[in-house]
A and B are shown apart, each in its own frame.
Chain A
Amino acid sequence: MELDFGPAVRDFRQELRDWLADHLVGEFAEHRGVGGPTDGAAWEVRLAWDRELSAGNWLGVGWPREYGGRGLGLVEEIVFEYEYARANAPYRATVNALDLLGPMLLKAGTETQRKRFLPPILGVEELWGQGFSEPGAGSDLASVRTRAALDGDQWVVDGQKVWTSFGLHADWLYVLTRTDPDSRRHKGLTMLLVPARQPGVEIRPIRNLAGQDEFAEVFLSGARTGADMVVGEVGEGWRTAMATLGIERGTTLLPQQLGFEREAEALIELARRRGALDDPMLRGRIVDAWISVRIMRTTNLRTIGELTAGRTPGAQATTAKLYASTRHQRLGHLAMELAGPAGQIVGEDYGLDTRQRSFLLSLAETIYGGSSEIQRNIIGEQLLGLPKEPRP
């Protein structure tokens, strides 16, 4: 389906299509479709691609011009994602800064913070990591223990963060800290921007099940950052964190899900080549895979329709993540089945092909950004109004 938002947007789309046709060539073209929100494959090439996008002024389409963005609206942002997915360009390496921190600063940051941080994000000069989770605070994020205390005009941060996506590449971290040592749960938390390259910060890779050093654990011992590096209010970090998670569960899923459509198409192509379409059982499952990606798209379009009409998105905006992550995993299993015995052979140094990588990494989609169980709690309690879990 073509999204048509009128002539002005049509020009924008054409400009983008032309630009992509001219620039998505050579090495970049060879890396079509590579990467994902937790897939660090071909990192250097993708970073170079992000710089290419930056040079073309395509990062931050909806961000204000004063920070280096294009100053366009939600509609253009959406068109950008659709066209980007259509071209199957490499997954943007700077997703953390572009899709999470940037919008958070635009929403809750100070003017000084925006001026300081947004342009280098769009210039691909500074990369960011999200420091929320801790060994003892995953789903139960309100139990973070990383402490921060003011020492003169600086915060001093101590604690440990874990599962920081692309943490090894981070120049900066946005960290959820406890600034009131006597506080419990979501009270007394503060969101801090902390430089990652300093003696008080040690970042160690953690190897994921696909063999990548994609995420990391972060040790903060006497790490320092300025008193002005608080996003939102001191003690109100929970609210800031929730806003980011809201963004994470919403818009960042869009490009990813558009990518799933390609996987479904590739799967059908593979099935055709292998003669698997003659098997009625497989045929049925293949059609179901196609149905599920089509439903993801329509669900997204519903949300987009509501957003662009200035309405509050309905329940589908919340259920979309659960549906997509579950169905994508099913698609992955089917792709592996279609690959047959060949699917179990990997390259040198545990080198995975696109399908194997996507299949294995899809297991994370029901964990990060709020696990499926947490999603079900949210849907049950916030959308359906069922009673909360009794808490001790």
Chain B
Amino acid sequence: MDLTFSEEQDELRKVVRSFLGKYSGEPDVRRLADDPRGYDLVVWRRMAAELGLQGLAVPEEYGGSGFGYVELGIVFEEAGRALLGGPYFATVALAAEALLRCDDERARADLLPGIAAGSTVATLALTEDGGRWDERGIGLTATGGPDGWRLTGAKTYVPDGHLADLLLVAARTPSGISLLAVDAGAPGMVRTPLATLDQTRKQARVEFTDTPARLLGTEGTAWPVLERTLATASVLLAAEQAGGAAAALDAAVGYARIRVQYGRAIGSFQGIKHKCADMLVEIESARSAAYGGLWALEAGDETEIAVAAALAQTFCSEAFTKVAGDNIQVHGGIGFTWEHPAHLYFKRAKSSEVLLGTPSYHRELLATRLGI
């Protein structure tokens, strides 16, 4: 296992950064924040066609390019830096991963190529009104009958749930937790977009009334699959958080160099300089937390993955929020305005903190996984 990035990986980072610099600049981020869809179909397609980002870690047999998690982590770090909006996280970190983990070869062969090609936007519908990320939070039921499976109940806080072409829904069935796939336009499914504090990351409430669905894998065996999916997504989100934090620090440093008070650049005052230094310490530590998770995913040791994922989410959530808040402080009054991008990062930090469970939740997961 490599403990540093290869030249190819550095190159990937460069390419992704330059692409996102072009298509996910501040004006794009703001425009998409106001757009209920939250993403640009043209850019989405180019991400797939030109860079292969949706299928980066999807095995070649399903139409992807079969790279590893380290590569995917690099993309998420850059996506976080650029505040990339839209369904990339939902599609790649959640849905594609759940499909890869579930024990259903046919579903993989049917559904992954569309994701890799950029023609399918997908998501995972897990949380409900209770807002819980554990097994017990799943109340929505699926019932099997002669004409297939049907869902009844509601999911909420579903990332990009209002626009996904494919929803993977966690449901309770007589023998436990199961995962089912629902296509957009399925009868009995009502999707309501939710107005979100972080406008760059859209969510929806999805109600199901006797909605036909396709069971993935064996009934009642989905919880470990979901748990593992959440672990992977936790690590990728951590990489995204580290990237977001790095961008916030860049902004703070850029401003501290040019803003003059008392006849000197504020960055020459230790109150500001030291704050920026502490931000970098947080970011480098967050990178370590995230990269540790990526290495664990790459190595495939399940115990280690579970631990590293909970660690990464606990640490990177808090680090991003802290750094994004400090960025506002360094900017003073201007940092508190709607016009300045600082709040976009701060809100993204706060929404990322709860996207896959709060830091307290992950801290407790970690404690349990360590046997503490």
Interface set of A (CB-CB < 8 Å, partner B) = 1, 4, 268, 271-272, 277, 283-284, 286-288, 290-291, 294-295, 298-299, 301-302, 304-306, 308-309, 311, 314-316, 319-320, 322-323, 373, 375-377, 379-381, 383-390
Contacts and interface: CB of A to CB of B under 8 A. Distances in A.
Choose among B256, B267, B284, B304 the residue with the greatest number of A CB atoms under 10 Å from its CB. Answer: B284
Interface string B269-311: 0101110111011001101110110010000000010000001
B132 to A, nearest CB: 18
B3 A304 contact: yes
Nearest to B365: A287
15 contacts: A272-B372, A286-B372, A299-B285, A304-B3, A306-B4, A308-B3, A314-B284, A323-B281, A373-B270, A377-B273, A379-B281, A384-B280, A386-B267, A387-B265, A388-B268
The main secondary structure of chain B at its interface with chain A is helix
B327 interface: no
Nearest to A283: B367
Contacts of B288: 295, 298-299, 302, 316
Contact of A302 (B1, B291, B315): B291
A287 B313 CA distance: 13
B189 interface: no
Contacts of A271: 372
B300 to A, nearest CB: 13
A273 to B, nearest CB: 13
Interface of B: 1-4, 249, 253, 256-257, 264-265, 267-268, 270, 272-274, 276-278, 280-281, 284-285, 287-289, 291-292, 295, 304, 311, 314-315, 360, 363-364, 366-367, 370, 372
B257 A295 contact: no
Given A277-B372, A302-B4, A386-B272, 16 more contacts: A268-B372, A286-B367, A286-B372, A287-B366, A287-B370, A291-B289, A294-B311, A298-B292, A302-B288, A311-B4, A319-B281, A376-B270, A376-B273, A384-B253, A384-B273, A384-B280
Nearest to A384: B253
Nearest to B1: A4
Contacts, number: 131
Nearest to B318: A288
A118 B277 CA distance: 38
Nearest to A380: B273
B284 A316 contact: yes
Given A302-B291, A319-B284, A380 B276 contact: yes
A188 B314 CA distance: 50
A287 B278 contact: no
Given A305-B2, A386-B256, A387-B267, A381 B273 contact: yes
A387 B315 contact: no
Given A376-B270, A380-B277, A319 B2 contact: no
Given A284-B363, A299-B285, A376-B270, A387 B264 contact: yes
B257 A385 contact: yes
B141 to A, nearest CB: 33
B285 A323 contact: yes
A132 B370 CA distance: 44
A301 B4 CA distance: 9
A277 B264 CA distance: 50
A301 B294 CA distance: 13
B314 A287 contact: yes
Contacts of B372: 268, 271-272, 277, 283, 286-287, 290
Given A291-B366, A373-B274, A384-B277, A389 B284 contact: no
A316 B276 contact: no
A377 B278 CA distance: 10
A392 B178 CA distance: 71
A329 B291 CA distance: 25
B257 A386 contact: yes
B289 A295 contact: yes
A299 B280 CA distance: 13
A263 B253 CA distance: 36
Nearest to A3: B3
B133 to A, nearest CB: 17
